[in-house]
Amino acid sequence: MPPPRRPQAPGSAGSLQSQQPQRVFEIPACARHHLSPQRRREADRTELETANAAYRIVARIGEGSFGTTYLARIECAKRLSRLQAHEDMPLSPTSVKDQRQLLALMQGSSVVVKEIKTATGDSREAEAAALNSKTLEIHGRTLESMDIVKSIAHIQHCDHPFIARLLDSQYALTTHDTPFEVYEYYAVGDAMRLLRYISVDTEETNSKHREATFLQASSLYLALQVAEALAYLHESGFIHFDLKMDNVFVDEFGDAKLGDFGLAKPCRLGRKMENPYYYWGSRCDPGTFMSVRWVPPEQLDESGGSVDHSADWFGLGALLFNMLYGRLPFDEHKRQALAAAPAGGEDPQLTKRRYLRLWRAAPRPKVEERPKLNQRTKNLLYNLLAFEPAARLGSGGCGEVFARLHALCADLGLRWFDALGSGGGGGPDIDRMRRMLRRGEVPRPYRIKLQQKRA
Ligand SMILES: Nc1ncnc2c1ncn2[C@@H]1O[C@H](COP(=O)(O)OP(=O)(O)O)[C@@H](O)[C@H]1O
Ligand SMILES: [Mg+2]
């Protein structure tokens, strides 16, 4: 997949030392929370196998509408027979061979297994229909959507430092098979968890100014990485559609990994597509509507309409807002919309329409005095969270998002990746970005001391 094009940002090459002192956070590895005997019992599976490796399930770590997420360990990676190695070569020299070598190198390491819910085979008819259907419906996820996940996150297609790495997968051939995906494990968990540690700690500091600057620096650091991942994803022809704190994972160095591509759709950069998720706002009850918290207004449009990549830039704005304020933008509109509903409940469409009206009347998110953000940060939030997609920052390409993000970082004396626009062909030098991170040349605002506790 090609790297994204964008103008080179001003600033010197390499990384300048941040003016901020680096803060250290002791964070228990996420797994520790999930290794209690109770959690272990909850995991109803113990082993899984693909053509490439065998995995032992350690614990259940998440239950979503699309399936169950487990922490697992690579028990053994399967060797390549000479014949297989030979057969794989003409197709793609880097495919199965590299994947198995990587899994062999990682033997014994923790991984995350995402088991995908399959259609329940209660009725034979439904099962037969599903089997006949070209796109086997799996609770909203189809074989096509799994292919999308594969192309975004798969080792053969994408190796981006800020995108969760898919190591292996097994896809269903019949409705009885359970499809699953195997990802690299990111020990801090999701971004929400990291932020929780950071905010607890910052509350204890006396200097409000220091607190705000640190929070800004940390949030911008993560937002920049997610923006890099998004730019790459968009240039590769996809929209993520599900940007939120629990879908950004954090590795042991504190770097972000964009994950959960279950709702991603293919869409060429510069094109629009029919809104695939407008029903989120139209078919559901007010309770569900309340959980639609991260989506831009155009996705709540009952008439369907079209959406484009700027939906994800809205998501980035919501993510940054959430990190800085600990809540979602426009929450007060939702509260008001629901409060105005009659006691016995009303048609969810009416609630939603009221919400959109309130939003249109006051399209700027409410920003308080605390944390003390500089005006540029607030403006960035306003522009990313713009009601009209065409007016939204990012609708003109990722270049404008990076220019603003880098200018903001420069304001705060932070220069992380601002010289990376110089890669061949105008794209960022992804390998260089990876090298800089690996060598510790990127002055992270925080350092994480991971408290490991082995099972
Ligand atoms: N690779 C990973 N490393 C660490 N934690 C993960 C990883 N993948 C998922 N998780 C945890 O499991 C949760 C659910 O995973 P996710 O892929 O978002 O599935 P869902 O479709 O259920 O939202 C995440 O919010 C995160 O806390
Ligand atoms: Mg998720």
Phi, psi values for residue 452, rounded to 5°: -85, 140
The verdict on 97 and 48 lying in the same domain is yes
For atom 14 of ligand 1, the residue with the nearest CA is 62
Q: How many domains does the chain have?
A: 2
The verdict on 257 and 404 lying in the same domain is yes
The verdict on 242 and 382 lying in the same domain is yes
Q: With a 6 A CB cut-off, is 249 part of the ligand 1 pocket?
A: yes
Final residue belonging to a domain, choices 157, 184, 211: 184
* Dist CA 71 CA 112 (whole Å): 5
pLDDT at 7: 53
The verdict on 318 and 447 lying in the same domain is yes
Return the ligand 1 atom nearest residue 183 CA: 1
The verdict on 40 and 141 lying in the same domain is yes
Q: How far is the CA of 425 from the centre of ligand 1 (A)?
A: 34
Question: Taking ligand 2, which is a single-atom ion, which protein residues have CB atoms under 5 Å away?
Answer: 247, 260
212 domain residue, yes or no: yes
Per the structure block, which two tokens stand in for 16?
């300048």
10 domain residue, yes or no: no
441 domain residue, yes or no: yes
The verdict on 93 and 151 lying in the same domain is yes
Please state whether beta strands 23-28 and 446-451 pair in parallel, antiparallel, or not at all (unpaired): parallel
The verdict on 142 and 66 lying in the same domain is yes
314 domain residue, yes or no: yes
Per the structure block, which two tokens stand in for 80?
């390549």
Q: Considering only CA atoms, which of 130, 112, 110, 132 is closest in space to residue 121?
A: 130
Q: What SS3 class is residue 369?
A: coil
* Dist CA 112 CA 121 (whole Å): 26
Final residue belonging to a domain, choices 184, 202, 228: 184
Q: Considering only CA atoms, which of 108, 120, 124, 115 is closest in space to residue 54?
A: 108
The verdict on 316 and 412 lying in the same domain is yes
Alpha helices in 331-387 (DSSP H): 331-339, 348-361, 375-384
For atom 24 of ligand 1, the residue with the nearest CA is 246
Q: How far is the CA of 247 from the centre of ligand 2 (A)?
A: 5
Shortest-distance ligand to the CA of residue 241: 2
* Dist CA 257 CA 186 (whole Å): 8
* Dist CA 239 CA 216 (whole Å): 27
Q: What SS3 class is residue 387?
A: coil
Q: What is the CATH number of the domain that holds 421?
A: 1.10.510.10
Predicted model pTM: 0.85
The verdict on 229 and 263 lying in the same domain is yes
Final residue belonging to a domain, choices 141, 169, 184: 184
Domain that holds residue 102: 31-184
* Dist CA 185 CA 73 (whole Å): 10
Q: What is the CATH number of the domain that holds 54?
A: 3.30.200.20
151 domain residue, yes or no: yes
218 domain residue, yes or no: yes
The verdict on 193 and 155 lying in the same domain is no
The verdict on 136 and 217 lying in the same domain is no
Q: With a 6 A CB cut-off, is 114 part of the ligand 1 pocket?
A: yes
Which residue is it, tokens 């799994």? 146
The verdict on 60 and 149 lying in the same domain is yes
Would you give per-residue pLDDT tens digits along the chain (455 residues)? Answer: 544 455 554 443 333 344 556 788 888 877 544 555 555 555 556 888 888 899 999 888 888 767 788 999 999 988 765 545 444 444 333 455 677 888 989 999 999 999 887 554 444 444 444 444 433 444 445 666 677 777 776 544 567 899 999 898 887 655 566 788 899 999 999 998 898 888 765 554 556 666 777 888 899 999 999 999 999 999 888 999 999 998 999 999 999 999 988 888 899 999 999 988 765 544 455 555 555 678 899 988 777 789 999 999 999 999 999 999 988 999 999 889 888 888 877 777 788 889 899 999 999 999 877 677 888 999 999 999 999 999 999 999 999 999 999 988 888 777 777 766 544 455 667 888 888 888 888 888 888 998 876 54
CA 115 to mean position of chain CA atoms: 18
199 domain residue, yes or no: yes
22 domain residue, yes or no: no
Tell me the Cα Rg of the chain.
Answer: 23
